[in-house]
Structure 1
Amino acid sequence: MIEGKLIKFYREKAGMTQGQLCEGICSITHLSKIERGVTEYSGEITYLLSQRLNISLDEEFVSYQNLQQKLKLWHDTFVMQQSKKSEMLKNEIEKEALVQLPEFQVFYQLLSARYYISHYQLEPALLIIRNLQKNESSLSQQDRNMLKHVFGMYYFYNGQYRDCIQILTTIDQSQYHQFEYYYHLAVAYHLIDSNITSYYYAEKALHYFRKTLNIIRIIDTETIMLLQLNAKELHNFKETKERYEQLIRTCDTINEMDRKSKLLNNLAFELYKRKKYRESADTYKEAMDIVDEKVPHYLTILDGYIQASSKGKLLSNKALLELAKNGLRIAKLTKSYNQIFFELHLFQLKNEEKEYYQFIETKALPYLKKMGFTILIQEYERKLFQYFMQTDAKEKALQIASSFMQSEAMKYGDGPPAS
């Protein structure tokens, strides 16, 4: 019973033994049974116990129920992407003494880890995860699966997409119904170039977000599905553009500028692939203009803008160099993996061919392989292969060709998992 839990919590908080609390009120055995919720008790006894603890059980019972509700609402803010409300609830929950109750602690810790992950504070998140894993066998099935979900998100935000997939696919969906994790699987599979599987999980995520009326995440999921349609071969551009514009209008309606900038970035990339360099650069520029440079995907947009402007000869070499230097500066400040792309831009813009390919071989490719960026690995392996063939470095070219064939062979296993 909740009253017993509250009495035990405040007794331990006050540093009192059971004997000290119940002296002159009831026996230690009776108090022990009250705290464990295994006996009936009179209101008079619990009133006297609460008086000695200097608490009101009625007020604490209300606080207990309110905290329970706040924790659920805090969880919902992560799924709904409501950052301001999340911050407000976090501050309120941290002031609640009852959050230290054992039955709230695991859920609270898992939500705290999600909070840190959403703010790219990965070290404190990992510390919480590791501490919870030490006692994983004692967790409920719900909490064990949520721990896997949070750990998968940690891997995702850390760029470890294969590790993310490995742990998220072990979630028992019969016991865990927070199907938001389908979306994380869809994005992770997209980033390792498993397009069919990505689309499969995106469809499942879209069904969940529509069922829960989560408009923001519907936009996110439809964006991933659009990317998959154009991944292997270019989809009908008129239809692709119309769908992007529809999603962009939805972002305008709900004032979601961050998501609008991502959609504009993706549309710009589709234009770039179709060699519409001026339209691409203009769209990248529009995306940059509505997002702060401190936002992680700003660098992705800037990288695309430099590529489109360079390919279309839309800016002078001097202007492109300044953009690349600025991108490198921001990447270093934020410790972003995008740093490697701006270094490559600088080598190219300075016509330092040898240094460019040496950097790809010794820095870029090893990092991309470590992080599992399949699409980028293949792109740079092709470039390196051609360079080695041109410079008569046949042995190195054969090594690259072998690596490329292995990665191509892995694609034949790309299909939806068994249900």
Structure 2
Amino acid sequence: MIEGKLIKFYREKAGLTQGQLCEGICSATHLSKIEREITEYSGEITHLLSQRLNICLDDEFVRYHDLQQKLKLWHNTFVMQQSKESEILKEEIEKDTLIQLPDFQVFYQLLSARYYLSNYQLETALLIIQNLQKNESSFSPQDRNMLKHVLGMYYFHNGQYRDCIQILTSIDQSQYNQFEYYYHLALAYHLIHFNIISYYYAEKVLDYFQKTLNVIRIIDTETIMLLQLNAKELHDFEETKERYEQLIRTCDTINEIDRKSKLLNNLAFELYRRKKYKEASELYKEAMKLMDEKVPHYLTALDGYINTCYKGKLLSNEILLELAHKGLKIAKSTKSYNWIFFELHLYQLNHEEDDYYHFIETTALPFFRNMGFTMLIEHYEKKLFHFYNRIGAVQKALDLANSYIQGRKSYYDHE
């Protein structure tokens, strides 16, 4: 009974009251029931009403279903990571006046939020999410869970990984069939270094992407799984390298430059961890050449490049300072949390030891704890502990050691 919705939509668009539209055709009460879809009606009446509105109901019926299909296709472009197709569909959908129908508004707003998230327009996405939350109680179970998914993605893009995990794990799987959110869970758990749980969700979503023949997201998921294999201990390097190179070749085949740059960055990091600094630096440079400086991954690669060149003594201190200043400037202009890594570089490169460790104690560690960056917390707590020991700050060293022990549960503790 879409006809009633369409008649109401075009009546209100024309600025007519129910009485004005139905005069000489039917009673206002009957028109009200037609619009609310609570009565039977004859085709003759709807024909006369549509004539007065100067529309063809058959054509509008087709447009309605076409728009419904376009919204589904638009959603699929986000899952398939098809940015060009997404832009085309967005433009087509927004030109269609029927998008103003209440039937489409919630799904359309949810997809709009995803669109702005995919383009790193976080503030615009958040405004849409907040407006949707005002009426969340009236949503269908599918839309309520999709709102959680979109909010989780916002938290992820904003670096709020624990909030991301909390909202995504509250999704009711029985009421939501978009299993792509497992990928976002895998990635969020990876970034707070919960490697086993990350691998678990990656395996679940890999099965989903394989069944839906989503090659691009298969690359993404296998990348996460590779990271987990090398997270706690260094996995066999030849196997690791071979799997990265296979994924890079796949990216070349389907012309996925963005993903290739991320894979090069990750392989560079594996080389860095194995003290192969020269090889790592070359891959970091290759990765950065493929990236726009404004995307978050560029800063990750630049941070890795500075670390590698510093440890391997591959560049002069002056050049490294220039790169650190450049990274800090980009991070601040893009409001990226990566700013903290470039601040650390600057303290270290300027040989300001006291200031460097003071910054770790007062700024970096609290920041990492708030973000839930477990591996970074452990790394910098260890550095700070050794510094305290070296300068004879015994009580501070003991307090830090105690904090470290209290914050970790024994393997045998189950309570």
Deviation at 1:412, TM superposition (A): 8.2
Q: In the alignment, which residue of structure 2 is the partner of 1:232? A: 232
| Alpha-carbon offset, residue 71 of structure 1 | 0.5
Greater shift, 48-57 or 20-29, is seen at 48-57
Tell me, yes or no, if structure 1 residue 204 matches structure 2 residue 212.
Answer: no
Partner of 2:362: 362
Cα deviation, 1:324-354, whole Å, max 9, x if unaligned, reads 1211221122121111111111111111111
Q: TM-score, normalised by structure 2?
A: 0.96
Partner of residue 149, structure 1: 149
Q: CA deviation at 1:274?
A: 0.8
- State the Cα deviation string for residues 166-189 of structure 1 (Å, max 9, x = none): 111111111111000000000111
CA distance in 2, matches of 1:178, 1:289: 35
Shift of 1:366: 1.8
Are the structure 2 counterparts of residues 275 and 252 from structure 1 closer, same or farther at C-alpha, using a change threshold of 3 Å? same
The answer (yes or no) to whether the contact 2:248–2:263 under 8 Å persists in 1 is yes
- The residue type paired with residue 312 of structure 1 is G
Q: Quick check: 222-231 or 87-96, which moved more?
A: 87-96
CA displacement 1:266-319 (0-9 Å, x = unmatched): 101111111111111111111111112122110100111111111111111122
CA displacement, residues 58-81 of structure 1 (integer Å, 9 cap, x when unaligned):
221121111101110110111111
Q: How does 1:12-411 map to 2 (within 5 A)?
A: 12-409=12-409
Q: Equivalents in 1 of 2:120, 2:375: separation in Å? A: 24
Offset at residue 411 of structure 1 (A): 8.5
Distance in 2 between residues matched to 1:219 and 1:406, nearest whole Å: 39
Q: Which amino acid aligns with 1:153?
A: M
Paired letter, 2:289: D
Contact 1:191 1:375 (C-alpha < 8 Å) held by counterparts:
no
Distance 1:410 1:137, change over 3 A: farther
Unaligned runs of 5+ in 2: none
Q: In 1, distance between residues paired with 2:20 and 2:261? A: 63
CA contact (8 A) 1:81 1:216 kept: yes
Question: Number of paired residues?
Answer: 414
1:62-118 CA-partner distances (Å, limit 9, x unpaired)? 211111011101101111111111111111111111111111111011111111111
Please give the secondary structure, in 1, of the residue aligned with 2:213.
Answer: coil
For the aligned residue pairs, the C-alpha RMSD in angstroms reads 1.6
Q: Decide whether the 8 Å contact of 1:194 with 1:411 is kept in 2.
A: no
Q: How far apart in 2 are the matches of 1:74 and 1:284?
A: 34
Instruction: State whether residues 185 and 201 of structure 2, in contact with CA within 8 Å, keep that contact through their aligned partners in structure 1.
Output: yes
Cα distance between partner residues in 2 of 1:160 and 1:80: 24
Contact 2:262 2:287 in 1 (8 A): yes
Give the secondary-structure state (helix, strand or coil) at the position aligned to 2:314.
coil
Aligned CA distance change for structure 1 residues 235 and 87 (closer, same or farther; 3 Å): same
Q: CA–CA distance in 1 between the matches of 2:412 and 2:282?
A: 37
AA matched with 1:274: R
Tell me how far 1:41 sits from its aligned partner.
Answer: 2.1
User: Structure 1 residue 135: deviation in Å?
Assistant: 1.8
CA distance in 2, matches of 1:410, 1:95: 60
Name the aligned partner's letter for residue 45 of structure 2: I
Which amino acid in the other structure matches residue 209 of structure 1? F
**CA apart distance, 1:395:** 3.0
Answer whether contact 2:159 2:337 (CA < 8 A) is retained. no
Aligned mates of 2:135, 2:276 — CA distance in 1: 55
Shift of 1:397: 2.4
- Which SS does the other structure have where 1:174 is aligned? helix
Partners in 2 of 1:30 and 1:180 — Cα distance?
A: 45
Per the TM alignment, residue 15 of structure 1 is displaced from its structure 2 partner at its CA by 2.5
Amino acid at match of 1:70: K
- Structure 1 unaligned residues grouped into runs of 5+: 415-419
Contact 2:7 2:49 in 1 (8 A): yes
| Residues 285/64 of structure 1: CA separation in 2 closer, same or farther (3 Å cut) | same
The share of aligned pairs that are identical, in percent, is 77
Q: Which amino acid aligns with 1:366?
A: P
Q: d(CA) in 1 for partners of 2:109 and 2:347?
A: 45
Q: Distance in 2 between matches of 1:23 and 1:83?
A: 49
